[in-house]
């Protein structure tokens, strides 16, 4: 089917006719996309079957990665690339006058995630398959992914996302493998031969129907599976009100919750979490049972990974299965559970740590609650032995306290490994945020610095740079991204630098075209593309970026001798629908864009673009076109960041704080190849503990700050009277929690270094090439190898030629 372009064309035309009952010349682009998608899925199916066969028969250890989010993006292009059939397809389609890129646009992004956490899970799947590691993803098949964002009059408006509207060619529904998940009801206990036995009665059952997605490795035969669960009504609903039951059941997997750290516990979200966990655990155990008589050695063949606390109920759920179904003793069940589960923490913002009110939790999951109570009691007893009489300490560490179930505490106590996602983040967990637990379990804590798949973020997203690198250092790096380091030897080669420049220009032109189509803004392709794309959040400090642009505007207006290289500031960010402050910042960016872009003088030098609906497919256009990467979170707040790595890999230079993985990027490329500024994490923590920061001092003593802060409220934005008062208040009245004004002058100075550095284009290109050369470390292949070796204890299995 894909062996050469002629056979491809024949199969394609035949398949199209078969699927749509029409000849090629009458087909639509969407039909062409669907046809190709179906062919590709069929093509990979024999490898998929063989991989599954292997996993079924093999007793090698396997990992199950449980995540409430998988932010996959589009799959067609990546699958073609990984299968090694992209060139044949492109040629064949060209003969038919079809542009592959054009029909790729008909695939909706699988946007089943909010941001970093979900995208990391997607990169990990790609690496697991490519490294031939036996890894399975388990997640939820949300009917609606993260909301679509529209900008109307500068404000964010949310629309329901509809990725399944035209079907999904990649998924395979497996109704025969559906699993029941039980909620509500009551627990009856009785004594059976001296053993307390628990029955869960009067439950409401929901069917979890699996939809499997193939995860194709790069140039290998391994095709792993991502299993997404869909909630459906049970066949014989016991309910009198069947319609209501059906509606409420289907609601469980209807929407992905937006990451809103201000959001208190919503019962539907808890339902989603248990739904994912219970269906997955039952599935894992039943697969294991097909190969083994008892579950006594489960932990030797099965590793279960909990991606953040969202799937932490896997711990009591496994306990439930071992205790109630397997009839194990508590101690035996607990030993197995604790040797099976591992947990990654993705945030230190304490308001983002999940806590569920007991009054909500207990009625919904009565047996699970009982088990958590028991875990808690035994844990507190152990603490009492270690810290006799220290009630306060024990209360702080308890899993249940003050009417709340603390999911992070459950995850730490119930697993054998707890990791952070960048060095500095893991250190903060050990030394501050989870210090108490580190004291009790020093061996559990470890670091796994995040990574990204270079197959999507370089090879697929930036074929121009990919070709350039291969021309320069050969093609070994495609399979072993560490080899990118060879580029370093060539970083000073004038011919390479020139080609790099040409590549960048080409990519900037592509993005400029897209910006014009989306926003109607004409941008200067020779300007510096300075980009901040990520979720909108106060700690990420998009505001610092905006205040700097306002300062540049004022300075350009006042001082005709002030000269800078033209810049285009590009933003992309979704705000959680209930996050009022974040939405204000979006409005501020758009108001500033309106003002600056319509100023006939200033707009020659400055342009501002807010790209609506930032998502994976848009990101793939943005990173390759960027010159400057904005990674400017308040130090200590960004656990890792992964966008920072995508920019670096595409030859953008970072302006950033010493936060998250920026620290390790700096260790790799050297401080001289970045623009570091701002408070360090220690300095921020010192202020947080001891006080002593008064933002108004900075307002009063720095006229640049005074100018821009006043602009928020003095009519500078003519149509936005009172609009930005909350921002003004957060910076002055409320003490500027994220140290925006404290870091302002340091940021301005770093931006001046950026401007100066860009004038020396030769040097700039060298720095960019050095960044690319060192980006191999930030491949998720490295990260996944570390998880496989240090945490999961899994090895590659049967590569078939």
Residues classed as catalytic: 346, 534-535, 540, 642, 646
Is residue 147 within 8 A of residue 78, CB to CB? The reply is: no
Shortest CB 726 distance to ligand 26V, Å: 22
Shortest CB 607 distance to ligand 26V, Å: 29
Candidate ranges 346-354, 377-385, 399-407, 718-726; the one touching ligand 26V (CB under 6 A): 346-354
Nearer to ligand 26V, 211 or 356 (CB): 356
Residues 265, 269, 270, 271: is their CA dihedral positive or negative?
positive
Q: What CA–CA distances, in Å, run from 369 to 183, 347, 400, 402, 548? A: 12, 25, 10, 15, 50
Shortest CB 663 distance to ligand 26V, Å: 12
d(CA 572, CA 519): 12
β-strand pairing of 404-406 with 400-401: antiparallel
Q: Quote the tokens at residue 415.
A: 């697993």
Among 129, 222, 340, 450, binds ligand 26V (CB under 6 A): 450
Q: What CA–CA distances, in Å, run from 316 to 183, 367, 414, 415? A: 14, 9, 8, 11
Contact call for residue 120 and ligand 26V (CB under 6 A): yes
Is residue 148 within 8 A of residue 613, CB to CB? The reply is: yes
Segment holding 341, helix H or strand E: strand 341-344
Candidate ranges 253-261, 583-591, 686-694, 731-739; the one touching ligand 26V (CB under 6 A): 253-261
Among 39, 44, 66, 117, binds ligand 26V (CB under 6 A): 117
- Helix, coil or strand: residue 666: helix
Burial class (CB in 10 A: 0-12, 13-18, 19+), 652: buried
Shortest CB 269 distance to ligand 26V, Å: 6
Candidate ranges 115-123, 130-138, 292-300, 410-418; the one touching ligand 26V (CB under 6 A): 115-123
Among 127, 222, 347, 629, binds ligand 26V (CB under 6 A): 347
Contact call for residue 783 and ligand 26V (CB under 6 A): no
Site string for ligand 26V, 463-502 (x = CB under 6 A): ----------------------------------------
Shortest CB 439 distance to ligand 26V, Å: 25
Among 50, 263, 493, 702, binds ligand 26V (CB under 6 A): 263
Is residue 453 within 8 A of residue 780, CB to CB? The reply is: yes
Burial class (CB in 10 A: 0-12, 13-18, 19+), 339: middle
Contact call for residue 638 and ligand 26V (CB under 6 A): yes
Shortest CB 307 distance to ligand 26V, Å: 9
How many residues does this entry show for the chain?
801
Among 421, 487, 538, 669, binds ligand 26V (CB under 6 A): 421
Shortest CB 421 distance to ligand 26V, Å: 4
Shortest CB 248 distance to ligand 26V, Å: 20
Candidate ranges 182-190, 244-252, 426-434, 637-645; the one touching ligand 26V (CB under 6 A): 637-645
Q: How far is CA 55 from the centre of its chain?
A: 27
Contact call for residue 420 and ligand 26V (CB under 6 A): no
Candidate ranges 45-53, 373-381, 525-533, 634-642; the one touching ligand 26V (CB under 6 A): 634-642
Among 47, 107, 212, 259, binds ligand 26V (CB under 6 A): 259
Among 62, 640, 657, 771, binds ligand 26V (CB under 6 A): 640
Contact call for residue 641 and ligand 26V (CB under 6 A): yes
Contact call for residue 594 and ligand 26V (CB under 6 A): no
Shortest CB 69 distance to ligand 26V, Å: 7
Q: Is 368 left (phi over 0), alpha (psi -120 to 50) or beta?
A: alpha
Looking at the DSSP bridge assignments, the partners of residue 568 are 529, 607
Using CB under 6 A as the binding rule, the residues of this chain from 281 to 320 that contact ligand 26V are: 308
The residue among 668, 665, 659 whose CA lies nearest residue 743 is 659
Q: What CA–CA distances, in Å, run from 656 to 31, 532, 534, 751? A: 45, 11, 14, 10
Strand order in the sheet with 400-401: 355-357, 404-406, 400-401
Q: How far is CA 588 from the centre of its chain?
A: 26
Contact call for residue 115 and ligand 26V (CB under 6 A): yes
Size of the site for ligand 26V (CB under 6 A): 22
- Helix, coil or strand: residue 350: helix
Burial class (CB in 10 A: 0-12, 13-18, 19+), 407: buried
Residue with CB nearest ligand 26V? Answer: 116
Q: What is the DSSP letter of 99?
A: -
Contact call for residue 114 and ligand 26V (CB under 6 A): yes
Site for ligand 26V, rule CB under 6 A:
114-117, 120, 257, 259-261, 263, 308, 346-347, 352, 421, 450, 638-642, 660
């Amino acid at each position: 089917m894909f062996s050469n372009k002629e056979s491809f064309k024949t199969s394609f035309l035949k398949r199209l006719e078969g699927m749509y009952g029409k000849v090629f010349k009458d087909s639509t682009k969407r039909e062409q996309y669907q046809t190709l998608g179906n062919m590709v899925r069929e093509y990979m199916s024999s490898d998929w079957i063989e991989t599954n066969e292997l996993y079924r028969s093999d007793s090698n250890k396997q990992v199950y990665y449980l995540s409430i989010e998988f932010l996959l993006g589009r799959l067609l292009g990546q699958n073609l690339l990984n299968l090694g059939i992209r060139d044949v397809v492109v040629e064949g389609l060209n003969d038919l006058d079809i542009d592959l890129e054009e029909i790729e646009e008909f695939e909706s992004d699988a946007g089943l995630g909010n941001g970093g956490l979900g995208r990391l899970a997607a990169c990990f799947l790609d690496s697991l398959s490519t490294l031939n590691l036996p890894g399975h993803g388990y997640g939820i098949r949300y009917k609606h992914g993260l909301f679509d964002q529209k900008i109307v009059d500068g404000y964010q408006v949310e629309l329901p996302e509809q990725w399944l509207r035209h079907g999904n060619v990649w998924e395979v529904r497996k109704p025969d493998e559906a699993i029941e998940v039980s909620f509500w009801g009551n627990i009856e206990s009785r004594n059976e031969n001296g053993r307390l036995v628990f029955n869960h009665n009067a439950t409401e059952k929901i069917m979890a129907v699996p939809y499997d997605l193939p995860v194709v490795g790069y140039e290998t035969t391994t095709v792993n599976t991502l299993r997404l669960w869909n909630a459906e009504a049970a066949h014989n609903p016991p309910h009198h009100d069947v319609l209501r039951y059906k509606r409420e059941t289907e609601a469980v997997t209807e929407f992905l919750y937006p990451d809103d750290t201000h959001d208190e516990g919503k019962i539907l979200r808890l339902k989603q979490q248990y739904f994912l966990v219970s269906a997955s655990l039952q599935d894992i155990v039943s697969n294991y049972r097909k190969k083994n008589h008892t579950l006594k050695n489960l932990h030797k063949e099965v590793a279960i990974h909990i991606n953040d606390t969202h799937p932490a109920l896997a711990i009591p759920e496994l306990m439930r299965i071992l205790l109630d179904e397997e009839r194990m003793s508590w101690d035996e069940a607990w030993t197995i559970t604790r040797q099976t589960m591992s947990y990654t923490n993705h945030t230190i913002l304490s308001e983002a740590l999940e806590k569920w009110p007991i009054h909500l939790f207990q009625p919904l999951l009565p047996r699970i609650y009982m088990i958590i109570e028991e875990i808690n009691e035994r844990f507190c007893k152990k603490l009492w032995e270690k810290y006799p009489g220290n009630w306060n300490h024990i209360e702080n560490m308890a899993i249940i306290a003050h009417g709340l179930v603390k999911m992070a505490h459950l995850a730490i106590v119930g697993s054998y490994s707890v990791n952070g996602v960048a060095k500095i983040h893991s250190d903060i967990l050990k030394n501050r945020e989870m210090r108490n637990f580190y004291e009790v379990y020093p061996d559990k804590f470890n670091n796994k610095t995040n990574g990204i798949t270079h197959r999507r973020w370089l090879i697929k997203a930036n074929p121009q740079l990919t070709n350039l690198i291969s021309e320069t250092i050969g093609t070994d790096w495609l399979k072993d991204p560490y080899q990118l380091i060879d580029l370093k030897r060539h970083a000073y080669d004038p011919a390479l630098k020139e080609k790099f420049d040409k590549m960048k220009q080409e990519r900037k032109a592509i993005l400029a075209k897209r910006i014009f189509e989306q926003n109607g803004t004409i941008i200067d392709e020779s300007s510096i593309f300075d980009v901040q794309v990520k979720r909108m959040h106060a700690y990420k400090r998009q505001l610092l970026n905006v205040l700097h642009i306002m300062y540049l505007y004022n300075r350009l207006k006042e001082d005709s001798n002030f000269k800078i290289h033209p810049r285009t500031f590009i933003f992309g960010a979704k705000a959680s629908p209930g996050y009022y402050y974040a939405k204000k910042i979006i409005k501020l960016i758009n108001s500033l864009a309106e003002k600056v872009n319509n100023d006939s003088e200033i707009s020659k030098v400055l342009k501002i673009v807010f790209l609506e609906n930032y998502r994976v497919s848009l990101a793939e256009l943005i990173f390759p076109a960027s010159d400057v990467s904005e990674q400017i979170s308040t130090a200590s707040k960004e656990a890792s960041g992964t966008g920072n790595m995508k920019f670096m890999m595409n030859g953008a230079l970072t302006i950033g704080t010493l936060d998250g993985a920026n620290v390790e990027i700096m260790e790799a490329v050297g401080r001289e190849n970045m623009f570091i500024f701002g408070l360090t994490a220690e300095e921020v923590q010192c202020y947080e503990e001891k006080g002593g920061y008064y933002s108004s001092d900075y307002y009063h003593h720095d006229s640049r700050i005074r100018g821009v802060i006043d602009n928020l409220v003095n009519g500078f934005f003519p149509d936005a009277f009172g609009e930005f008062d909350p921002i003004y208040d957060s910076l002055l009245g409320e003490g500027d929690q994220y140290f925006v004004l404290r870091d302002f002058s340091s940021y301005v100075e770093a931006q001046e270094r950026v401007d100066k550095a860009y004038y020396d284009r030769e040097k700039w290109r060298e720095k960019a090439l050095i960044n690319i050369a060192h980006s191999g470390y930030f491949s998720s292949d490295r990260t996944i190898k570390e998880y496989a070796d240090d945490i999961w204890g899994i090895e590659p299995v049967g590569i078939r030629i």
